[in-house]
Structure formats: C-alpha cells, structure tokens
C-alpha cells in the first residue's frame, strides 16, 4: 500500500520477479482497459479526468475477475488494492495474507514526483523528469512522439486524490494493523534501499541486482 508516486508498482515488481509471485497492479488493468476503449475503460476515464478514485464496485469487480484466474503457484502481490474498509474486509475474508507493506511518503514528496511524470503520446512509455529523463527533452526515446502529462496529473486533481486517499486508506491500514500485518517503510529513499528494508522487515533474503532483472522501471508508482 502506498500513495501514488510512492513506488509501489516498482517495489512490487522487484519482489514478484525474485520470488515467482504474480504481480497484480490494479492501475495497470485499468490503464489497459482505457487504452483498449473497453466499457470499463470509459468509466475509468471519466472518473480519472475528474481527479477522483475509481468507484469501489468497479475496483472490486476487476480484482475479483483477476484473482479468479488462479494463475499463481507461489502466491501474488497486489498493488492498488484494497483502498477502503469494505475492500479490506473482502480481502481478509477471501485470502491468506502474509503481510501488508506500507510505503510511507509525505504529501509534498508525492506532489514533486507525480508532477514530474510524463507519458509518451505515441507508445505509452512512462517517463519521469526526476529519475528517468528522455535523451531529447519532451521526446520519447523509443518512438520519438511527444511526451505529455496524464490528464489526471494536475495540481488540482492531485490535491483531491491525496485527500481522498488519506480518508480511505487510514481506516484500511488500521484494520490491517490490528491483525499485525503491516510493515511501514520510509519510501523517500532510493528504490534499492526501500526494497532492502522491505525484505529485512519481512525476513526475506536481501535483494541483489545480479539475481533479478527488473528492467528500466520508472518511479511512476503504479
Ligand atoms: Zn513512445
């Protein structure tokens, strides 16, 4: 769990790659639907353009569908879910949870990271003007198309999302804390440091760059 820009997609991918876990990123499922102009995609697009979080029923439906595929052998790591108390109760009732990783990032740092995100208007590749800049300013390294902000990455939309995030997430963390599942990790540090801290806290073997290739992950926090 973590606010957008906290790097939870990156951290989840690093864990999934190393431990043969299926990585389920709710944001990616939604983005796929938007790009492929599905009915779900149209609903998501309207919500995001207004700067709001996608509705509970829609999120739950998408997650239930994805988890019902049962394609994991060693388990799964999910990011972007659960986001409210109801989803947390559903999750607790339905699955055995080993741990909840909470990536802690102050709002001012979220603002700095999120407002630096860019997306290629051609191929959809993610960029970040802090850590992952293109070779030519404003241009995609892969296809040369113009880099744009996601339409939901404005100051105003972000302020609404942060408020909504804290309102909904604090009670969820409280539920998981009562079950003693939560490890809170300072997410302001580098992605390697954050990964090591997660593993130390969960008694997992340390991360090694040689052992796993995660590719060029952006810090877009999906
Ligand atoms: Zn491109």
Dist CA 105 CA 87 (whole Å): 22
Ligand 1 centroid – CA 62 distance (Å): 28
39 belongs to the catalytic site: no
Ligand 1 centroid – CA 137 distance (Å): 13
Does pLDDT of 146 surpass 60?
yes
Dist CA 183 CA 83 (whole Å): 17
Q: What pLDDT does 209 receive? A: 74
31 belongs to the catalytic site: no
Ligand 1 centroid – CA 148 distance (Å): 11
Q: What is the pLDDT of residues 28-81, one digit of tens each?
A: 888 888 889 988 889 888 887 777 777 778 888 888 888 888 888 889 999 988
Q: What is the mean pLDDT of residues 166-193?
A: 94
Give the residue carrying structure tokens 């963390």. 173
Ligand 1 centroid – CA 9 distance (Å): 20
Query: Over the chain, what is the mean pLDDT?
Result: 88
Give the residue carrying structure tokens 């996608």. 54
Catalytic pick from 45, 66, 111, 150?
150
Does pLDDT of 191 surpass 80?
yes
CB 182 within 8 A of CB 173: yes
Nearest CA among 221, 186, 222 for reference residue 201: 186
| DSSP single-letter state for residue 25 | E
Residue 178: C-alpha distances to residues 138, 172, 173, 175, 181 (Å): 46, 10, 9, 5, 8
Ligand 1 centroid – CA 25 distance (Å): 22
């Amino acid at each position: 769990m973590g606010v957008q820009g906290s790097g939870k997609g990156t951290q989840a991918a690093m864990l999934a790659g190393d431990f043969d876990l299926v990585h389920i990123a709710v944001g990616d499922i939604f983005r796929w639907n938007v790009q492929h102009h599905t009915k779900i995609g149209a609903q998501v697009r309207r919500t995001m353009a207004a700067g709001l979080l996608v509705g509970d029923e829609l999120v739950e439906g998408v997650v239930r569908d994805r988890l019902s595929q049962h394609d994991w052998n060693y388990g799964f790591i999910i990011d972007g879910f659960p986001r409210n108390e109801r989803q947390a109760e559903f999750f607790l009732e339905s699955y055995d949870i080993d741990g909840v990783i909470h990536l802690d990032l102050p709002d001012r740092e979220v603002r700095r990271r999120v407002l630096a995100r860019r997306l290629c208007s051609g191929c959809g590749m993610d960029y970040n003007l802090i850590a992952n800049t293109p070779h030519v300013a404003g241009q995609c390294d892969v296809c040369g198309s113009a880099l744009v902000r996601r339409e939901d990455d404005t100051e105003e939309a972000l302020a609404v999302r942060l408020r909504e995030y804290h309102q909904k997430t604090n009670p969820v963390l409280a539920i998981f804390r009562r079950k003693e599942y939560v490890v809170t990790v300072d997410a302001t540090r580098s992605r390697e440091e954050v990964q090591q801290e997660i593993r130390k806290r969960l008694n997992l073997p340390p991360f090694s760059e040689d052992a796993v290739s995660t590719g060029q992950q952006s810090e877009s926090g999906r």
